[in-house]
Amino acid sequence: MRSRSAFILILALLLGGAVGHAQENESQPKQSRLQATQKEKARLIALRRKLVKANVSPREFYKQLNTAVAQGNYEQYKTNVALMARCNEYVEQAEKKHLEEKAKLYAKLAECHKYYAKQNEALVKAYQAYDSGAFSKALDEIAKAEERILALGGKVSREWFLPSELEKVLLPGQEAPKPTNAATPKS
């Protein structure tokens, strides 16, 4: 009887510890967008150094550095097509309720997501064709599409990072560059 109660006590302590550990993990905050951007920038810097040291071909260099962006755009394409369809449904609902302004807004958002999806597709095709010019152009157009969506009150959520985002963020311990003045003040 004693061994049974001791076993139950030990089991209860172990389960209590596991539950406490699970609750502890849930209470830890998710990584912020800034931290994720810093982590990605550090990863790309390390990858760039590794590829230069390994003296890989320009094609392999391009492929390795842009894989995350291409994969992210492949996934983003699906999201944007779904958001376009959802906005079109909202247009129909707003028209049924005679809410013309809402219908126009959702129609504009649907067009923006359609354009965004088109640019996602163009970026993936450019990546596969090793066309860095088309790749960069698609990234610029994606940034513009996101600005339009945000200006219309929509939301943009993605797991990958634009190169312009990575350029702006500083790594922990890194100091901001000091501005250089073209003209020195006269005394």
Q: Each residue of 157-167: pLDDT tens digit?
A: 898 999 988 88
Q: Greater confidence, 182 or 65?
A: 65
Mean pLDDT of 40-65: 94
Q: Which of 178, 175, 159 is nearest to 39 (CA)?
A: 159
Mean pLDDT of 86-102: 94
92 CB-contact burial (10 Å; exposed 0-12 / middle 13-18 / buried 19+): exposed
Q: How confident is the model at residue 20, as a pLDDT?
A: 45
The predicted-structure confidence for 113-144, as pLDDT tens digits, reads as follows 999 999 999 999 999 999 999 999 999 999 99
Per-residue pLDDT at 109 exceeds 70: yes
Dihedral angle of Cα 159, 76, 146, 163, to the nearest 10 degrees: 50
Q: Which residues fall within 8 angstroms of residue 162, CB to CB, at 6 or more apart?
A: 139, 142, 143
Pair 72, 36: CB distance under 8 Å: no
> pTM of the predicted model, to two decimals?
0.74
The SS3 assignment for 114 reads helix
Where residue 173 falls among pLDDT bands split at 50, 70, 90?
confident
Q: What percent of the chain has pLDDT over 70?
A: 79
Residue 51 to residue 65: CA distance in whole angstroms: 9
Pair 156, 145: CB distance under 8 Å: no
